[in-house]
Chains A and B, each alone.
Chain A
Amino acid sequence: MNGSGTQLGVRRSTPWLFLAPYLVLFITFVAIPVVYGLWMSLHNWDQFLPEKPWVGLENYTQLFTPGSAKSAPFWSAMKATAIFTLFSVPLLVIIPLGIALLLNRRFPGRSFFRAVYFAPYVLGVAVVGILFRFMLDPNIGAFNYLLSKLGFAGDTPWTTALPWAWISLVGMTVWWTMGFNAVIYLAGLQDIDRQLYDAAEVDGASRWQRLRHVTVPGLRSVIVFVITVTLLASANMFGQAYLTTQGAPAEKTRTAIMFIAEEGFQDFHLGSAAAMSYVLALFLMALSAGVFFFFRDREEAR
């Protein structure tokens, strides 16, 4: 019946048909907005005014003109994002790995602990943000109250002064999302052949050496995935700072995304908000490319 020509009924159009649904979504929600945003960023674009004057690259140049009204707050927001990323990513890459290693062992109650570490991740950012905002409040929060009961100073400004606000934001994010990374690691660990460990043990490898030479290489692609995903998530941080510190003290914990949202939707300067988004996106693309490059290099060197 399905004699000559097409095998298994595969026609030329079949792959396209399979790709089509995603392609439509991609074009509608990624490709078109990307181009359209670029067009916007070249205008003084107020979505509710009929006139949208062309301003060329002004929305970009103002970001790189020291002393302009937009440059200082924008770079302060970029700096806030950078600080958060710098401190949260290493913790979110290393701590979940440790947890995954522990949870990969056999011990009574293992499933319970797996659930415990993953549990916070199911909470929405609104829940986590408001929960911590009240627990960490410097004057009326439960955290300072408990610290004072334990004999420590109970007046640490966890959400209203630096560096405490960063410690709070990084800490709550680690608590909240480490379960997700741990589960990814756990899945990766279960893919590593047990025989490799047995062989290493026979060769007299210590526990550290087994981690260093069996586990980590076995997890390489998983680690690249975790780093990339965590990097992008941290660089796009919005909810935690929006809800817990409101950017306080002053605008020191206002992240890039927070500032861009304010600029575009609250202050109706969509043009300059779009320009800021492109600058942020360029940074993130460079960073992701760096991660891939770093790990690809190492793989080839082996």
Chain B
Amino acid sequence: MGRGDLTRRELLAAGAGATFVLVTGCGGSPREEITAAKFPGGTSYDGPPLTLDFWNGFTGGDGPQMLTIIDAFTKEHPNVKVKMVTARWEDFYTKFPAAISSGKGPDVAVAHSDQLPINAAHGSIVPLDDLVADLGLSESDFAADVWQAGIYQDRRYGVPLDMHPLGMYVNTKVLKDAGLDPEDPPKDRASYEAALKKLKSKGIQGSWASPFLFTGGLQFQSLLWQFGGELVNVDGSRASWNEEPGVEALSWMKSLIDNGYSPENIGQDADNIAFKNGESAFMWNGAWGIGDYGATEGFEWSLTQLPQIGTEKAAWSGSHNLVVPRNNKPDADRMQAAKVFIDFVTQSPSWAEAGQVPARTSARESEAFKKLEAQSALAEEVPYVRFPPPVPGLADVRESTLDQAIAQALGGGVSVKEALDDSAKRANQLLKFNHEKYAA
């Protein structure tokens, strides 16, 4: 259990083994094996002692939190030990499928909801319909949208662990100094812009519009949904972010710069550091900010819902999901133990201490969770959080098209409409290509 010295080396070894598969492409035929994988019934494990390999990207403050949950699990289930291996998420998603196809994958892992479709299409993870049936889980136990985000082509591939929506962090000291009431942060477009105007008169650029995915891209997606737009059309074959709502959303972000509420050409993470340094007042950031700001000594902040800039309430959200990787030689004992582990982890309210909002309603309504002030503020967004649609490869397409359009419009001298149209045009080709590739 725990993260020993070996874990990094093991991950590297898995990566090296995977390189062979990467190059030779001989990973067997995933689809046949998937249909073969069946979970044994029941909700408990009393087979021989074993150690589960558990992979995820919890390299920050969330890692130790997960380890305490694993400790608690092992206390309750002494015959199941869990060995956790972490890698940065960026590396994780390239190594994970490679390790699985070379037969060196883990027994259970965590993946973001927007990465489920591509991993399902690649045959890297197995459907969990049996598993949730055995555990008696259903949509009513979860926030509806996060439950839906785990489904790809009518099959379930992930059990949601948490949600990490975008919220609005407030530098309360800056607000106080500017004569604004930090207890009553702006909730709509008019009050948000009024507050920014007032901050500007005190020499503070209150709301930085970052050209990077973190956090400008997430802000754009939230605004897109707020203005009634969507990233792609219903079947995921065409980009729709260049329609009217997208143009309004990005134009509003641009107006932050044009009105002097944000500097131009912001570096990656500079918006976050400036926020902590009191150079800005509002920060649209994910739930992971709770850990970051909480650890910053002497920093006075609060967390609230995103203001409603568009015509409806909406907030981007990601979600960590427990997944079961494909195994060429499925082992009923290990699968059963993984099922019990997944059930335990998703029920644990203590995961929220890492800054997350639990996906399971029972955990979210627990007393332990309600004591967490910042997380509970984010949980108020649950009725209207939005997840990217389950289109395989959409995250990659978005990154090479939309994310760049945002940067071009915010500082590259390209008009909002032109940047969005151009990126959508390229995205349509890539989406069509992916559609054909993964439909096969």
Q: Which of A's residues lie within 8 Å of B, judged by CB? A: 33, 36, 44-53, 68-69, 72-73, 133, 137-141, 155, 157, 159-161, 246, 248-252, 262, 265-268
Binds A, one of B18-26, B314-322, B338-346, B356-364: B18-26
B270 touching A139 by the CB < 8 A rule?
A: yes
Closest to A49 in B: B122
Closest to B433 in A: A69
B30 touching A48 by the CB < 8 A rule?
A: yes
From A44, A72, A133, contact of B426 by CB (8 A):
A72
Collect the chain A residues with CB atoms within 8 Å of residue B279's CB: 139
B411 touching A48 by the CB < 8 A rule?
A: no
A138 touching B265 by the CB < 8 A rule?
A: yes
From B23, B28, B440, contact of A33 by CB (8 A):
B23
A267 touching B400 by the CB < 8 A rule?
A: yes
B191: interface (CB < 8 Å): no
B97: interface (CB < 8 Å): yes
A159 touching B267 by the CB < 8 A rule?
A: yes
B407: interface (CB < 8 Å): yes
Shortest distance between the CB of B257 and any CB in chain A (Å):
12
B27: interface (CB < 8 Å): yes
B124: interface (CB < 8 Å): yes
B265 touching A161 by the CB < 8 A rule?
A: yes
From B93, B270, B400, B440, contact of A138 by CB (8 A):
B270
**In the complex, what distance in Å separates the CA atom of A48 from the CA atom of B440?**
13
B274: interface (CB < 8 Å): yes
B31: interface (CB < 8 Å): yes
B212: interface (CB < 8 Å): yes
B98: interface (CB < 8 Å): yes
Collect the chain A residues with CB atoms within 8 Å of residue B393's CB: 267-268
**In the complex, what distance in Å separates the CA atom of A270 from the CA atom of B21?**
13
Segment 247-270 of B: residues with Cβ below 8 Å from A: 263-268, 270
Shortest distance between the CB of A54 and any CB in chain B (Å):
13
Interface on chain A toward B: helix, strand, loop, or mixed SS?
Answer: loop
B396: interface (CB < 8 Å): yes
A160 touching B430 by the CB < 8 A rule?
A: no
Collect the chain A residues with CB atoms within 8 Å of residue B267's CB: 133, 137-141, 157, 159-160, 248
Q: Which of B's residues lie within 8 Å of A, judged by CB? A: 21-23, 25, 27-31, 93-94, 97-98, 101, 118, 121-124, 211-212, 263-268, 270, 273-274, 277, 279, 393, 396-397, 399-400, 404-405, 407-408, 411-412, 426-427, 429-430, 433, 437, 440
A47 touching B211 by the CB < 8 A rule?
A: no
Known: A138-B270, A139-B270, A248-B212. A161 touches B411 (CB 8 A): yes
Collect the chain A residues with CB atoms within 8 Å of residue B437's CB: 44, 46, 49
Top 8 A-B pairs ranked by shortest CB distance?
A: A69-B429, A157-B265, A48-B122, A160-B265, A250-B407, A139-B270, A267-B396, A137-B267
CB pairs A–B below 8 angstroms (27 shown): A45-B25, A46-B122, A47-B25, A47-B27, A49-B123, A50-B27, A50-B29, A50-B31, A69-B429, A137-B267, A139-B263, A139-B266, A139-B273, A139-B274, A139-B279, A140-B273, A160-B265, A160-B411, A161-B265, A248-B407, A249-B412, A265-B94, A266-B396, A266-B399, A267-B396, A268-B393, A268-B396
**In the complex, what distance in Å separates the CA atom of A141 from the CA atom of B268?**
12
A250 touching B408 by the CB < 8 A rule?
A: yes
Summed over the interface, the residue pairs from A and B with CB atoms below 8 Å come to a total of: 114
Shortest distance between the CB of A271 and any CB in chain B (Å):
11
Closest to B31 in A: A50
Most B CB contacts (10 A, CB to CB) among A46, A48, A68, A267 go to A48
Collect the chain B residues with CB atoms within 8 Å of residue A267's CB: 393, 396-397, 400
B270 touching A48 by the CB < 8 A rule?
A: no
Collect the chain A residues with CB atoms within 8 Å of residue B30's CB: 48, 50
A249 touching B264 by the CB < 8 A rule?
A: no
Collect the chain B residues with CB atoms within 8 Å of residue A141's CB: 267
Collect the chain A residues with CB atoms within 8 Å of residue B265's CB: 138, 157, 160-161, 249
Most A CB contacts (10 A, CB to CB) among B31, B268, B277 go to B268
B400 touching A140 by the CB < 8 A rule?
A: no
Closest to B22 in A: A47
**In the complex, what distance in Å separates the CA atom of A241 from the CA atom of B224?**
30
**In the complex, what distance in Å separates the CA atom of A36 from the CA atom of B407?**
37
Closest to A161 in B: B265
A246 touching B400 by the CB < 8 A rule?
A: no
**In the complex, what distance in Å separates the CA atom of A36 from the CA atom of B22?**
12
A48 touching B426 by the CB < 8 A rule?
A: no
**In the complex, what distance in Å separates the CA atom of A45 from the CA atom of B123?**
15
Shortest distance between the CB of B30 and any CB in chain A (Å):
7
**In the complex, what distance in Å separates the CA atom of A82 from the CA atom of B279?**
38
**In the complex, what distance in Å separates the CA atom of A18 from the CA atom of B21?**
31
Collect the chain B residues with CB atoms within 8 Å of residue A251's CB: 400, 404
Most B CB contacts (10 A, CB to CB) among A44, A49, A246, A251 go to A49
Closest to A69 in B: B429
**In the complex, what distance in Å separates the CA atom of A47 from the CA atom of B98?**
8
Shortest distance between the CB of A154 and any CB in chain B (Å):
12
**In the complex, what distance in Å separates the CA atom of A47 from the CA atom of B94?**
11
B429 touching A137 by the CB < 8 A rule?
A: no
Closest to A165 in B: B265
Closest to B267 in A: A137
Collect the chain B residues with CB atoms within 8 Å of residue A52's CB: 25
Closest to A262 in B: B400
Shortest distance between the CB of B296 and any CB in chain A (Å):
14
Most B CB contacts (10 A, CB to CB) among A68, A72, A140, A159 go to A140
Shortest distance between the CB of B260 and any CB in chain A (Å):
13
Known: A73-B400, A157-B265, A161-B411. A47 touches B21 (CB 8 A): yes
Shortest distance between the CB of B184 and any CB in chain A (Å):
28
Shortest distance between the CB of B328 and any CB in chain A (Å):
13
**In the complex, what distance in Å separates the CA atom of A47 from the CA atom of B29?**
12
Closest to A76 in B: B404
Collect the chain A residues with CB atoms within 8 Å of residue B396's CB: 266-268
Given A49-B440, A69-B429: 8 more A-B contacts, CB < 8 Å: A46-B437, A48-B97, A49-B123, A50-B31, A161-B265, A249-B411, A250-B408, A268-B118
**In the complex, what distance in Å separates the CA atom of A129 from the CA atom of B427?**
30
Collect the chain B residues with CB atoms within 8 Å of residue A248's CB: 211-212, 267-268, 407
Collect the chain A residues with CB atoms within 8 Å of residue B97's CB: 48
Collect the chain B residues with CB atoms within 8 Å of residue A51's CB: 440
Most A CB contacts (10 A, CB to CB) among B399, B408, B426 go to B426
Known: A50-B31, A268-B393. A246 touches B274 (CB 8 A): no
**In the complex, what distance in Å separates the CA atom of A12 from the CA atom of B142?**
75
Most A CB contacts (10 A, CB to CB) among B277, B405, B433 go to B433
Known: A69-B426, A248-B212. A36 touches B122 (CB 8 A): no
